[in-house]
Amino acid sequence: MAQARDQWGSRLGFVLAASGSAVGLGNLWKFPYIAWDNHGGAFVLVYLACIMVVGMPVMMSEIIIGRRAQTSPVPAFGELGHPRWAFVGWLGVASGIMILSFYCVIAGWSISSFVQCIKWSVSGYDAPANDAFGIFLAKGPLQLFLTATFMAITAWIVSRGISGGIEKATKILMPVLLGIMILLVLNSVSLSGFGEALRFLFNPDFSEFERHGVLEALGHAFFTLSLGMGAMITYGSYMKKSESITKASAAIVALDTVIALAACVIMYTVIFSFPEMKSQIGRSSVGMLFVTLPQMFYTKMGLGVLLGPVFYILVAFAALSSTISLLEVVVALLVDKLNWTRVKSTAVASGFIFFFSIFCALSLGASSWASTFEFFGTSDTGLGAALNNRFFADKQGFLALFDHFSANWMLPVGGLFITLFAGWVLSRKTSAEELDMVGPDGSTHWIFRTWLFFVRFVAPLGIGWIIVRVIMGEDFS
């Protein structure tokens, strides 16, 4: 007997959960990094335009598909279109599995950083050795423990259902996350680089902006909203018919964008306040987040003993809100297709994904085999070398390979087919009804016609451009 489908208790619950899915670690390190690399203000304006013409229309499309079908991505495409379209849903599920397998590894570092900051706040700061982060990554048992811990927390929340688990959790996670962001922004006001950070971020100078920045803005506008992996389709399937998809999508996009910009203000204020940070942001955005920033908190900031631990609560909560949605995509499939209980589905899904996480966790130095693994062999010549170069940019190690392949191939391809499905396969009547934009005489609202234009023409061209650039060697991971 089919189980009754759970629903979000309120629009706020849906908006917070979907925003949590979008607001991940990328908002805290990737967006500040690419905005810095593209000279700030001009890039931000282009990014905002890309969000409006590509990001939001595709998000609305995914939510429409999910709510109309009232099921997870794989059966949703088959029911609303033709069974052969189910492959798009499978691609989303595979993307979720691949991304979560390495995302939990990185998310686990926030636990270690939080504990370390607590120690420093209590016992005093003890500067780590220059290679401390590399030594930390090479500790296999510790990496596995942190990854398993984060996966277990994620699974516990997902196993409790939509309204009783995910919604309750995000109603705590997101307000706390926003509160911490506000605290950190207020602290930034007291630093010398605050004014310069604002000018860099909000004073556009197109004389330094390069065409390549448009592609980066377009790529991040797509990736930042958790599109192409089935998360928004899955979350949309739990949305009440009485809720407005347009208003909810606008709120999600706005919240994600505000948090990304706030992260930039925080990061750039530190960079402009302490010149030694400028050399760090060009090296490794991950290293800056987990190595350089803690040093700045405890050696340069008066409130560092408080801000250090608080910052890593922010990082952990941002990561957790995303891992929840990634796991839910797989769990929803098992519940809908196999009619398993949510607890059983969560246990199987999290265990299956953790199996791949093991290889990712050990691929950062703990295991030479996992760290140098290449899918098509290690030869420098022949077909294997050509395939490694084309699909994985000659990267090595499970985490780097999974990250590259999901970001550059699976998500854009999945997103392209989702837009084609929503624009050309799903009937206008169905879409207009879900958006509540059909008049008494059967006419459609101008907002609907605008959305349809963007989904049919603008979004596919934009995503198609991303795929073409990937084929030509661009790397969005």
Domain membership of residue 384 (yes or no) is no
Residue 208 reports pLDDT greater than 50: yes
Better pLDDT: 278 or 416: 416
Instruction: Quote the CA–CA distance of 472 and 477 in Å, as a whole number.
Output: 15
Instruction: Quote the CA–CA distance of 436 and 448 in Å, as a whole number.
Output: 9
Domain membership of residue 77 (yes or no) is yes
- Count how many domains the chain has: 1
Total-model pTM: 0.94
Percent of the chain with pLDDT over 70: 97
Rounded to a whole number of angstroms, the distance between the first and last alpha carbons of the chain is 42
| Contact status, residue 76 vs residue 69, Cβ threshold 8 Å | yes
Give the pLDDT band (50/70/90) at residue 1: very low
Give the pLDDT band (50/70/90) at residue 323: very high
Domain membership of residue 320 (yes or no) is yes
Helix H segments across 70-85?
A: 73-80
Domain membership of residue 190 (yes or no) is yes
Q: How many helices (H) and strands (E) does the chain have?
A: 26, 0
Q: What is the pLDDT of residue 178?
A: 94
Domain membership of residue 375 (yes or no) is no
Instruction: Quote the CA–CA distance of 386 and 116 in Å, as a whole number.
Output: 43
CA distances from 238 to 225, 326, 348 (A): 18, 15, 22
Q: For the segment 229-257, what is each residue's pLDDT rounded down to a tens digit?
A: 999 999 999 999 999 999 999 999 999 99
Q: What is the mean pLDDT of residues 347-367?
A: 97
Low-confidence winner among 48-52, 74-78, 158-162, 471-475 (lowest mean pLDDT): 471-475
CA distances from 354 to 97, 209, 351, 436 (A): 9, 42, 5, 41
What the block records as the tokens of 423 is 């624009």
Instruction: Quote the CA–CA distance of 359 and 398 in Å, as a whole number.
Output: 6
Mean pLDDT score across all residues of the chain:
91
Among 147-151, 185-189, 216-220, 238-242, which range has the highest average pLDDT?
147-151
Instruction: Quote the CA–CA distance of 375 and 392 in Å, as a whole number.
Output: 9
Phi, psi of 74 (to 5 degrees): -60, -55
Domain membership of residue 376 (yes or no) is no
- The CATH number given to whatever domain includes residue 86 is 1.10.4160.10
Question: Which range marks the domain in which residue 462 is found?
Answer: 11-364+399-467
